């Protein structure tokens, strides 16, 4: 039998892949036509594909490889743990050293009194847990009807039935979600697309006050929680106006609503702070974490929970919830090693003080390009809005995403992974990206923007639609 390896011709690997592998978020017809891009290795911020191309990964995989690729310390930590104790569970009053150590470390890093961790295998599972935490908490408090969770349109909270129901991305709706009753969506604070004639500050307040209006309409005795990403990631790196989060915090406080921060992307240094809530100075009761927790080297997620919610639940008997891999020892050992490296190498501080400001200046200079309307960035997550007319923030005379996809294709061809969300281009590079690599990122982005502009002019798309 042939061994399937990196050494097989790309076309053969692609044929097997197309025949047997169902890809997430991928169109089957496109896959069958062109095959998948096959990644065979990676180091630092650079991927290698099966054709030998070197590609700068400005997305850190899926927003997760915060310490960069190729850190053998994490492989060693996994191997050591697998030899010592590859698996044991945390159900029925049992525990093990890696889960104890990681929990103590997370309590130390997390803001305020978020001192308790419930583990999951992913961000989606963490948000499923969060739905149950909120509803169980209010039921214990004698308010079983305080079970509605308010979320936002164009939010991403994962792909399970719970995460998908919380989420609000139009492309996911009507494919089996939403299915969880009692989830209510308000509008997002995306000033570029939806702000009309208002200033960003006016618009931020208006969108935050939709939360208050929804609570008043549904009844504060019915609304258990509000969930949001500090900065929407998959929705297009939507950085809210400065007025938004303080008003959300006021509303949650005044109406006695739990605040859930989905930190799956923003957590672990992405914003130049340990958590997005540190950046915004908000005080969540629960945070969803995953991705950067292990820099993607092992699947692990969880909920960081405040004293009140954790203690209320602990005192009420069994919490009948858990995953076979909750607190998996190998994943915990890898996450601990990742956090050790982040702290010892001052990776978060470097983003805040050195490479983050450097990237910000370069990123914002992209607005000089004729295709680029706004350029927004916090720490190491940024986006640019492509537009045929900056002053009116116009959309193109083409289906939304046509120009974004064209730009992404040019980026790939130029050795750069930059994702498109509609006609926004987004980046979220490994936090260890150097200044020289930032220069390369910007050069390749500019080249790709030039080529995109030429292409859409030739196709007659460089006009407002
Ligand atoms: C990726 C993501 C999730 C889902 O995490 P998975 O590990 O893919 O299940 C949830 N919330 C946010 C904000 C995310 O970006």
Cα of 163 to ligand 1 centre, how many Å?
8
pLDDT at position 1 is 45
For residues 319-327, average pLDDT: 98
pLDDT at position 173 is 87
pLDDT(452) > 50: yes
For residues 104-111, average pLDDT: 98
Report residue 186 as tokens.
Answer: 């308000």
Q: Whose CA is nearest to atom 5 of ligand 1?
A: 123
For 33-69, how does the pLDDT look when each residue is reduced to its tens digit (9 = 90+)?
Answer: 999 999 999 999 999 999 999 999 999 999 999 999 9
CA–CA distance, 461 with 447 (Å, rounded to integer): 19
Cα of 128 to ligand 1 centre, how many Å?
11
For 424-446, how does the pLDDT look when each residue is reduced to its tens digit (9 = 90+)?
Answer: 999 999 999 999 999 999 999 99
Instruction: Choose which residue among 25, 122, 123 to substitute to test ligand 1 binding: the one with the highest number of ligand atoms within 8 A of its C-beta.
Output: 123
For 361-406, how does the pLDDT look when each residue is reduced to its tens digit (9 = 90+)?
Answer: 999 999 999 999 999 999 999 999 999 999 999 999 999 999 999 9
Q: Which atom of ligand 1 is nearest to the CA of 155?
A: 13
pLDDT(448) > 90: yes
Cα of 264 to ligand 1 centre, how many Å?
6
Cα of 452 to ligand 1 centre, how many Å?
30
Task: Name every protein residue with a CB atom under 6 angstroms from any ligand 1 atom.
Answer: 122-124, 127, 156-158, 163, 229, 233-234, 262, 264-265, 290, 301
Instruction: Choose which residue among 158, 261, 328 to substitute to test ligand 1 binding: the one with the highest number of ligand atoms within 8 A of its C-beta.
Output: 158
For 252-276, how does the pLDDT look when each residue is reduced to its tens digit (9 = 90+)?
Answer: 999 999 999 999 999 999 999 999 9
- Domains annotated for the chain, with CATH where assigned, are 37-70+346-458 (3.90.1150.10), 73-344 (3.40.640.10)
CA distances to 54, 175, 406, 417, 459 from 413, in Å: 11, 32, 11, 9, 19
Cα of 66 to ligand 1 centre, how many Å?
15
SS3 per-residue string spanning 307-371 = HHHHHHHHHCCCCCCCCCCCCCHHHHHHHHHHHHHHHHCCHHHHHHHHHHHHHHHHHHHHHHCCC
Q: Whose CA is nearest to atom 14 of ligand 1?
A: 264
Cα of 388 to ligand 1 centre, how many Å?
32
Confidence of residue 2 (pLDDT cuts 50, 70, 90): low
For 136-165, how does the pLDDT look when each residue is reduced to its tens digit (9 = 90+)?
Answer: 999 999 999 999 999 999 999 999 999 999
Q: Which atom of ligand 1 is nearest to the CA of 291?
A: 7
Q: Which atom of ligand 1 is nearest to the CA of 266?
A: 13
pTM of the model: 0.98
pLDDT(14) > 50: yes
CA distances to 150, 210, 351, 449 from 213, in Å: 11, 5, 37, 41
Pairing label, strands 416-417, 39-43: unpaired
């Amino acid at each position: 039998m042939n061994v399937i390896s990196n050494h097989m011709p790309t076309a053969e690997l692609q044929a097997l892949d197309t025949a047997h592998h169902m890809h997430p978020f991928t169109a089957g017809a496109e896959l069958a036509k062109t095959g998948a891009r096959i990644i065979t290795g990676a180091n630092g911020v650079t991927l290698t594909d099966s054709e030998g191309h070197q590609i700068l990964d400005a997305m850190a995989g899926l927003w997760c490889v915060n310490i960069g690729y190729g850190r053998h310390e994490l492989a060693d930590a996994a191997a050591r743990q697998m030899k010592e104790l590859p698996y044991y569970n945390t159900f029925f009053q049992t525990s093990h050293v890696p889960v104890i150590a990681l929990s103590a470390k997370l309590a130390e890093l997390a803001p305020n009194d978020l001192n308790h961790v419930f583990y999951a295998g992913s961000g989606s599972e963490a948000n499923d847990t969060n739905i149950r935490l909120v509803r169980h908490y209010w039921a214990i408090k004698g308010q079983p009807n305080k079970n509605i969770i308010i979320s936002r349109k164009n939010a991403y909270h994962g792909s399970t039935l719970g995460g998908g129901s919380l989420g609000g991305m139009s492309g996911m709706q009507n494919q089996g979600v939403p299915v969880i009753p009692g989830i209510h969506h308000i509008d997002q604070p995306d000033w570029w697309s939806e702000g009309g004639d208002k200033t960003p500050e006016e618009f931020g307040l208006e969108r935050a006050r939709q939360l208050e209006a929804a609570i008043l309409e549904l009844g504060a005795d019915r609304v258990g929680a509000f969930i949001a990403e500090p900065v929407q990631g998959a929705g297009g790196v939507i950085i809210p106006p400065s007025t938004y989060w303080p008003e959300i915090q006021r509303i949650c406080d005044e109406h006695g609503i739990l605040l859930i921060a989905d930190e799956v992307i923003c957590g672990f240094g992405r914003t130049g702070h340990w958590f997005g809530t540190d950046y915004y100075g908000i005080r969540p009761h629960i945070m969803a974490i995953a991705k950067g927790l292990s820099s993607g080297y092992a699947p692990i997620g969880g909920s960081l929970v405040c004293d009140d919610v954790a203690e209320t639940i602990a005192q009420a008997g069994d919490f009948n919830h858990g995953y076979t891999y909750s607190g998996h020892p190998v994943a915990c050992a890898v996450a601990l090693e990742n956090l050790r490296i982040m702290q010892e190498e001052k990776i978060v501080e470097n983003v805040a003080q050195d490479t983050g400001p450097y990237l910000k200046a370069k990123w914002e200079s992209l607005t000089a390009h004729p295709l680029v309307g706004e350029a927004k960035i916090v720490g190491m997550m940024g986006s640019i809005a492509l537009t045929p007319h900056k002053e009116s923030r116009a959309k193109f005379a083409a289906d939304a995403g046509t120009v974004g996809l064209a730009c992404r294709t040019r980026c790939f061809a130029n050795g750069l992974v930059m994702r498109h969300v509609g006609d926004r281009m987004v980046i979220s590079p490994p936090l260890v990206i150097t200044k020289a690599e930032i220069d390369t990122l910007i050069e390749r982005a500019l080249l790709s923007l030039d080529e995109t502009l030429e292409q859409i002019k030739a196709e007659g798309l460089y006009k407002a639609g």
